[in-house]
C-alpha cells in the first residue's frame, strides 16, 4: 500500500508544466505567466492632468489667494485624447481635462474647484507648486520596471495592467484541457429514466466542474459502457485534445468488470495501486498516448472520487499550470463529535467547519457513496494513519473543501 | 457628499435579485438556488453492494472462520447495471460487483478479500452480519430529505448531487449578464498604435474580468468616443441583453466632456454624486431602460474604477444573485509604513498583506492612475474618514483583494 505522500510525489514528479503560448488578454485571466513582464514604455507615457482644471506655469499663479485671485487669459482647451501639440504662453492658461496631455511650457494644473471656471479669462484663487495635479511620465512604471512576476496567475488587474502597458497579447501557460470519462453499465445520463439497478451519472459532471474550478478547460465524455474496447477507444479519442484525462469507475477488485484497468493494461504506463487513504484506496496514475498524457483513474464512488480529486488531481492541475505552491489550506479545529478511521489508512472525513467557533462537526454518514453528506460538508477532517478513533473535543487538522 | 454606507444602502435597496430560471446542470455551477431542493426518491434507490464480493444470507456464513471456511455454491453473478431480477437461494452465494443490486433473499455481502474468490464454489473465511457491505436504499437520503438549501451557490459537488438525485436541470438564479462600456477619445484598443496623448484601454478588460470573477457573464462593448449620442446609443444597445451595465470614464467635473453624465441626463434615473471615498469619489448609480437595468458609472482612473468595483459593484452583483451575506473579508493588520488620507474621506490604500506576519505594507505610489502599484497589492488598507495620517505600527483594518 502506497502512502499518500509517496503517491503524491510520484504524481508531481511525472507532471510537466504545460508550455506557454501567446494568448489574447481577454482569454488570459487564470493563465500563469512563465516569465517576468517588464515595462517596455513609461507608464503613463506622457505628462497629463490628474484633474479637470487649467494648465499653468506654477510661477504665474504663485501669488494667487482666495481674496486676491490671479487672472490669466484662457488660450484654449486640451481634452483627453487630444493628439495635437499645445504650447502654453507665459501669463496664460489652457483649460485641461483629466488625462489630457500637459501642454509644452506648463508645469502644473489648477483644479477647476480652485478657480472661477472662466472660459476666456480665469480667476485662480490658490497657488500651486510645480508638478501639482500632474501625472508625470513614468510615474507608475519606468521602462524596465518589473510589472508582473513569473508564476503570477493572471487576475483582472493584471490583464488591465498588461493592456495599459501596451501588450495586446501575453505569453502564459494555458488552462489545461481536461476530459472526464465516466464508465459503467449502471450509469444513465442525468434527467433520463432509470431501470432497477441503474443510477444517474454524477461523477463526470462533478469532476469536470471541479476541474474548471481548478482553472482548467474541462469537458465530459459521453458515458462509456463496461467494455474494454469501448473504454480504450474513448481514451484514445480523448487524448487527441486533452492535456489530462480523468476516468471514474472500473478500477475495483472484481476482475473482468474492471474495464478501465483492463484497457490500460494494453496502453500507457498507468500503475494501479492501493493508497493508505479512506475514502479512495484504489488509485491509478500514469501516462497514455504519444504525448504521454497524464491520466488519473479515480474510483467510481462519488465521495472517493471527489476526495481523490482534491488530494491528487488538483495538485497535478496546479503543477501543469506551474503553480507548485498552491495547496488547499489546512488548519486545526476541535472535533464536535467522535470519529472512527481504519487502522493504517489516513481518513478524510466529511465535516462542517465553523471557522468562527473553531469546531468541526462530522456529518452523520461517512460512507463513500454518501454524496448528499459530502454536499453538506465544507471541510475534510484528517485522521492520521495510526489513529482509529477520536473523541469529541480532540484537536484535528481540517482541510477546507474548495 | 454621500457616506460609503449610505451609497451602498441605496444600491442594495435598488437591486432586485434576478428571477430564477431552469438551466441544465452542466451550466448551473455558480448559479444560486432560490428554493430548497429535497430528495424526490431515496438515495441510493435500491440496496446495492459496497464491495466486489459475494451476496449471501448472513445466517448461512455465521460459522465461517479462517481455519474453518463455509463453502457455498456460486449460483451466478450480478454486475453493476444488471437490471434483471436475481434471487438468492438459501445455502448459495451470488458473485456481486460494487454498485450491483443486492439479489432478493440476500442480506449481506462478503468482500472478495474474505473468500477464496471461487467461481463455482466459494470458500468464505469470515462471518458477516446482516447489512454488512450493503448500501441500503435511502441510506444517503430519504424522500423529502433536504439536499440543498435555498441560497446555495452551486459548486461541483452540488451539481453532482442534483444529478445523482435525478435532476436533469435545476431552477436557480442565472449569472447576471454584464456589459462594460469604456468611453474616451484618448482610448486605443490594447495592442494597437498610440499617438501622443492617447492611452490603451484597460478598464473595460479589467472590469469584465472582475465581473466574471464575481460570478457574472460579462462582455466588453467596443470603445465609445466622447460623443453623447454615441454613448446614449451604446447604452441603449447594451441594455437589450444585459442585467447590469458598467461604464468607465466620462463622469468628472469638466462639463461638456463628461459624456456619460450628459447621456444619462436624458435617460434613466442615474444620480451622480460624490462619495466620501478615496480613490473613487465621483460615483453614479441608477437604472436605465424599460427593464430598469441597473447601471454604475465608474470613474475612468483605473485604480478608482477597481476600488469602486470592489466596494459597490460586487455587492450589487451578489445581490442580483441573491447572495446578500457574501462580503469581502476584512481583518486587522499592522501597518509596516506610514500612510496619509484626505480629511473627511475613507481611504482604501493599496497594500501588500503578509498574512503570516500580520503586517501590511503600503505600496509606494497611491495615486489613482497607478495601476502597476495596484497590481502589486493584494489588499486594501482602510483609513477612516476622520484620520488623515497613520504611523507605521498602527493597527488598521485590511480588506483582501479578490
Residue A320 has pLDDT above 90, yes or no: yes
> A335 is written with which cell numbers?
472535533
Closest residue of chain B to A219, computed from CA coordinates:
B26
Of the candidates B263, B289, B320, which is a domain's last residue?
B320
B57 close to B105: Cβ distance less than 8 angstroms? yes
Q: Which helix (H) or strand (E) holds B225?
A: none
pLDDT at B325: 57
What is the average per-residue pLDDT within A280-309?
Answer: 96
Instruction: Looking at the structure, tell me whether residues B185 and B259 fall in a common domain.
Output: yes
Closest residue of chain B to A47, computed from CA coordinates:
B197
Alpha helices in A217-256 (DSSP H): 228-238
What is the average per-residue pLDDT within A213-226?
Answer: 95
Instruction: Looking at the structure, tell me whether residues A202 and A272 fall in a common domain.
Output: yes
Instruction: Looking at the structure, tell me whether residues A336 and A285 fall in a common domain.
Output: no
Q: Express each pLDDT in B140-184 by its tens digit.
A: 999 999 999 999 999 999 999 999 999 999 999 999 999 999 999
Does B166 sit within 8 Å of A83, measured CB to CB?
no
Q: Which burial class, exposed, middle or buried, applies to B55 when counting CB atoms under 10 A from its CB (0-12, 13-18, 19+)?
A: buried
> A395 is written with which cell numbers?
484537536
Residue B253 has pLDDT above 80, yes or no: no
The pair phi, psi for residue B99, each rounded to 5°, is: 90, -10
The pairing of beta strand B277-278 with beta strand A330-335:
unpaired
Domain that holds residue A113: 48-135
Of A179, A182, A178, which is closest to residue A259 (Cα–Cα)?
Answer: A182
- Cα B158 to its chain centre, rounded Å, is 12
Of B372, A151, A37, which is closest to residue B363 (Cα–Cα)?
Answer: B372
Residue A258 has pLDDT above 90, yes or no: no
The pair phi, psi for residue B85, each rounded to 5°, is: -85, 135
Residue A161, C-beta contacts closer than 8 angstroms, at least 6 positions apart = A147, A148, B202, B371, B372, B374, B375
pLDDT at B254: 58
Q: Give helix A203-213 / helix B156-164 axis angle, nearest 10°.
A: 170
Phi-psi region of B214 (alpha: psi -120 to 50; beta: other; left: phi over 0): alpha
Instruction: Looking at the structure, tell me whether residues A296 and A198 fall in a common domain.
Output: yes
Q: Is residue B189 part of a domain?
A: yes
- Asked if B207 has any chain A CB less than 8 Å from its own CB, the reply is yes
Reply yes or no: is the peptide bond before residue A267 cis, omega within 30 of 0.
Answer: no
CATH number at residue A316: 3.40.980.10
User: Band of the pLDDT at B13, cuts 50, 70, 90?
Assistant: very high
Q: Is residue A252 part of a domain?
A: yes
Instruction: Looking at the structure, tell me whether residues A31 and A167 fall in a common domain.
Output: yes
CA dihedral for B339, B340, B346, B348, sign (positive or negative): negative
Q: Is residue A222 part of a domain?
A: yes
pLDDT at A6: 96
pLDDT at A325: 58
Instruction: Looking at the structure, tell me whether residues A122 and A257 fall in a common domain.
Output: no
Residue A255 has pLDDT above 80, yes or no: no
Is residue A230 classed as helix, strand or coil in its secondary structure?
Answer: helix
Q: Is residue B223 part of a domain?
A: yes
Instruction: Looking at the structure, tell me whether residues B30 and B97 fall in a common domain.
Output: no
Q: Express each pLDDT in B278-333 by its tens digit.
A: 999 999 999 999 999 999 999 999 999 999 999 999 999 999 998 865 556 789 99
> B332 is written with which cell numbers?
486587522
Q: What percent of chain A has pLDDT over 70?
A: 98
B156 close to B59: Cβ distance less than 8 angstroms? no
**Length of chain A in terms of residues written:** 402
Of B321, B240, B251, B397, which is closest to residue B12 (Cα–Cα)?
Answer: B321
- Asked if A182 has any chain B CB less than 8 Å from its own CB, the reply is no
Instruction: Domain count for chain B, please give it.
Output: 4
Q: Shortest CB distance from A168 goes to which of B191, B212, B302?
A: B191
Q: What is the rounded distance in angstroms from the CA atom of residue B277 to the CA atom of residue B2? A: 9
Residue B46: its chain A contacts at CB < 8 A?
A: 196-197
Q: Output b/e per residue, A200-220; b: 16+ Cβ within 10 A.
A: bbbbbbbbbbbbbbbbbebbb
Does A39 sit within 8 Å of B371, measured CB to CB?
no
Q: Is residue A325 part of a domain?
A: no
pLDDT at A191: 86
Of the candidates A151, A173, A195, which is a domain's last residue?
A173
pLDDT higher at B329 or B74: B74
CATH number at residue A167: 3.90.105.10
Instruction: Looking at the structure, tell me whether residues B13 and B64 fall in a common domain.
Output: no
Q: What is the rounded distance in angstroms from the CA atom of residue B307 to the CA atom of residue A383? A: 42
Q: Shortest CB distance from A190 goes to which of B25, B141, B210?
A: B25
Residue B48: its chain A contacts at CB < 8 A?
A: 197
User: Band of the pLDDT at B191, cuts 50, 70, 90?
Assistant: confident
Q: Express each pLDDT in A331-355 by its tens digit.
A: 999 999 999 999 999 999 999 999 9
Would you state the torsion angle of the CA atoms of residues A53, A56, A58, A60, taken in this order, to the nearest 10 degrees?
-120
The pair phi, psi for residue A166, each rounded to 5°, is: 100, 10
Instruction: Looking at the structure, tell me whether residues B341 and B270 fall in a common domain.
Output: no
Phi-psi region of B268 (alpha: psi -120 to 50; beta: other; left: phi over 0): left
Residue B25 has pLDDT above 80, yes or no: yes
Instruction: Looking at the structure, tell me whether residues A128 and A162 fall in a common domain.
Output: no
Residue A310: its chain B contacts at CB < 8 A?
A: none
pLDDT at A254: 58
Instruction: Looking at the structure, tell me whether residues B373 and B251 fall in a common domain.
Output: no
Residue B252 has pLDDT above 90, yes or no: no
Of the candidates B135, B165, B183, which is a domain's last residue?
B135
- Asked if B396 has any chain A CB less than 8 Å from its own CB, the reply is no
User: Band of the pLDDT at A257, cuts 50, 70, 90?
Assistant: confident
Q: Is residue B325 part of a domain?
A: no
CATH number at residue B351: 2.40.340.10
Q: What is the rounded distance in angstroms from the CA atom of residue B53 to the CA atom of residue B49? A: 8
CATH number at residue B72: 2.170.190.11
Of B359, B365, B367, which is closest to residue B332 (Cα–Cα)?
Answer: B359
Q: Is residue A54 part of a domain?
A: yes
Shortest alpha-carbon distance between residue B224 and chain A (Å):
13
Q: Is residue B59 part of a domain?
A: yes
- Asked if A37 has any chain B CB less than 8 Å from its own CB, the reply is no
Q: What is the rounded distance in angstroms from the CA atom of residue A101 to the CA atom of residue A276? A: 66
Q: In what order do the strands lie in the sheet with B282-288?
A: B217-220, B177-182, B244-248, B293-298, B282-288, B271-274
pLDDT at B255: 62
**Length of chain B in terms of residues written:** 402
- Asked if B25 has any chain A CB less than 8 Å from its own CB, the reply is yes
B184 close to A99: Cβ distance less than 8 angstroms? yes
pLDDT at B257: 72
The pairing of beta strand A53-56 with beta strand A108-111:
antiparallel
Q: Which residue has the cell 484663487?
A: A125
pLDDT at A207: 98
ipTM: 0.89
What is the average per-residue pLDDT within B205-232?
Answer: 96
B364 close to B314: Cβ distance less than 8 angstroms? no
Instruction: Looking at the structure, tell me whether residues B295 and B350 fall in a common domain.
Output: no
Residue A326 has pLDDT above 70, yes or no: no
Does B197 sit within 8 Å of A160, measured CB to CB?
no
Closest residue of chain B to A203, computed from CA coordinates:
B160
Amino acid at each position: 500500500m502506497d502512502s499518500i505522500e509517496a503517491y503524491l510525489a510520484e504524481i508531481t514528479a511525472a507532471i510537466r508544466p504545460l508550455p506557454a503560448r501567446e494568448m489574447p488578454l481577454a482569454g488570459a485571466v487564470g493563465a500563469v505567466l512563465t516569465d517576468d513582464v517588464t515595462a517596455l514604455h513609461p507608464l503613463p507615457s506622457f505628462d497629463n492632468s490628474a484633474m479637470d482644471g487649467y494648465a499653468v506655469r506654477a510661477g504665474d499663479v504663485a501669488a494667487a489667494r482666495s481674496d486676491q485671485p490671479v487672472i490669466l487669459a484662457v488660450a484654449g482647451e486640451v481634452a483627453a485624447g487630444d493628439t495635437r501639440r499645445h504650447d502654453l504662453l507665459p501669463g496664460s492658461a489652457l483649460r485641461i481635462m483629466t488625462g489630457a496631455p500637459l501642454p509644452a511650457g506648463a508645469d502644473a494644473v489648477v483644479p477647476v474647484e480652485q478657480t472661477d471656471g472662466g472660459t476666456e479669462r480665469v480667476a485662480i484663487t490658490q497657488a500651486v507648486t510645480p508638478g501639482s495635479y500632474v501625472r508625470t511620465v513614468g510615474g507608475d512604471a519606468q521602462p524596465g520596471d518589473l510589472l508582473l512576476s513569473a508564476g503570477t496567475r493572471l487576475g483582472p488587474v493584471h490583464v488591465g495592467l498588461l493592456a495599459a502597458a501596451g501588450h495586446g497579447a501575453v505569453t502564459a501557460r494555458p488552462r489545461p484541457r481536461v476530459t472526464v470519462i465516466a464508465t459503467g453499465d449502471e450509469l444513465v445520463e442525468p434527467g433520463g429514466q432509470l431501470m432497477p439497478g441503474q443510477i444517474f451519472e454524477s461523477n463526470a459532471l462533478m469532476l469536470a466542474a471541479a476541474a474548471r474550478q481548478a482553472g482548467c478547460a474541462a469537458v465530459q465524455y459521453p458515458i462509456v459502457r463496461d467494455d474494454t474496447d469501448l473504454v480504450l477507444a474513448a481514451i484514445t479519442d480523448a487524448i487527441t485534445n486533452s492535456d489530462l484525462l480523468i476516468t471514474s469507475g472500473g478500477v475495483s477488485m472484481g476482475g473482468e468488470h474492471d474495464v478501465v484497468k483492463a484497457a490500460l493494461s494494453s496502453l500507457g504506463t498507468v500503475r494501479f495501486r492501493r493508497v493508505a487513504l479512506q475514502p479512495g484506496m484504489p488509485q491509478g496514475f500514469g501516462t497514455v498516448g504519444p504525448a504521454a498524457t497524464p491520466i488519473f483513474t479515480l474510483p467510481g464512488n462519488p465521495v472517493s472520487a471527489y476526495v481523490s480529486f482534491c488530494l491528487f488531481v488538483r495538485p497535478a492541475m496546479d503543477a501543469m499550470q506551474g503553480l507548485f505552491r498552491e495547496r488547499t489550506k489546512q488548519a486545526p479545529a476541535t472535533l464536535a463529535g467522535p470519529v472512527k478511521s481504519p487502522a493504517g489508512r489516513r481518513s478524510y472525513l466529511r465535516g462542517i467547519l465553523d471557522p468562527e467557533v473553531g469546531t468541526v462537526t462530522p456529518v452523520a454518514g461517512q460512507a463513500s457513496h454518501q454524496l448528499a453528506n459530502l454536499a453538506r460538508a465544507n471541510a475534510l477532517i484528517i485522521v492520521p494513519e495510526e489513529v482509529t478513533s477520536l473523541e469529541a473535543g480532540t484537536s484535528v487538522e481540517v482541510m477546507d473543501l474548495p
